[in-house]
Structure 1
Amino acid sequence: MASDMFYGASPQLFVYAKQLREAMTPAELTLWERLRLNRLHGFRFKAQHPISNFVADFYCHAARLVIELDGSVHDSPDQQEYDANRTFIIEELGIRVIRFRNEDVFDNMEAALATITNYLPL
């Protein structure tokens, strides 16, 4: 069922996710161009997708996979703790989370796509 894709996300989170989609970072836009329209092995990815209390950068429901892109803001100890807790909560829902640095997308997109492919049920 489609509602299972959101894991109880609030209406406010959907509004926030829409705002994030309208202001995606350069790294997110670059990866999105490679994921959108089922371009990666026919899998459908959603950008800025609400899940529970969070907005995932990218989500593939068929693979139960979240992809997060991290810029320098994620380098602070407080943010790293928040990210680890968020990953734990999402993984408790049975969803795998993989993280890339923004630089991975810009400097080695093919390796990032290969890593994502390894998580897809091909």
Structure 2
Amino acid sequence: MARRKIIPYNPKLKELARQLRNSSTKAEIILWQKLKSKQLYGYDFHRQKPIDNYILDFFCHELMLGIEVDGYSHQLVEVFKKDKVKESVMLKLGISLLRFSDEQVLKDMDNVLRAIEDYIHNHEKTHP
């Protein structure tokens, strides 16, 4: 049996993650309705998951997949730069990231889910 990789996190972020779960955006709530309770091919996703010194909107440990839903502020240069650093840290930890805009989730959920499903299928092919 393969052992789960231990992923570091900053315990100081636990309370902030709880607050973020309680104040989710509309897009996050809608996507969560599709991911929760192992609805997507039986994979267990978590919301607002602290990892290292960051919080991922959604995370599946089995897939080593993080999903980010970006609002308007992520278009700002300063936030965009922080997102790139966060992505780099996640990649170093072996975590792949999928990013979607609020608008994509709200207006094109079929393609958002298709992209996540494609990731899952590719992951299953390469990690039997």
Q: Which position in structure 2 is the counterpart of 1:100? A: 100
Tell me the amino acid that sits aligned with residue 61 of structure 1: H
- Residue 3 of structure 1 deviates from its aligned partner by 8.0
Helix, strand or coil for the counterpart of 1:49? strand
Q: Which position in structure 2 is the counterpart of 1:90? A: 90
Greater gyration radius? 2
Stretches (4+) displaced over 2 A: none
Write the distance in 2 (CA, Å) between the matches of 1:71 and 1:40. Answer: 24
Write the distance in 1 (CA, Å) between the matches of 2:99 and 2:11. Answer: 26
- Structure 2 CA distance for partners of 1:15 and 1:2, relative to 1, 3 Å: farther
Asked if the contact 2:48/2:55 (under 8 Å) is kept, the reply is: yes
Aligned residues: 120
Asked if the contact 2:10/2:51 (under 8 Å) is kept, the reply is: no
Q: Which position in structure 1 is the counterpart of 2:29? A: 29
Unpaired stretches in structure 1, ≥5 consecutive residues: none
RMSD: 1.4
Unpaired stretches in structure 2, ≥5 consecutive residues: none
- TM (norm. structure 2) is 0.89
Q: Matched residues, percent identical? A: 34
| 1:61-100 to 2 correspondences below 5 Å | 61-100=61-100
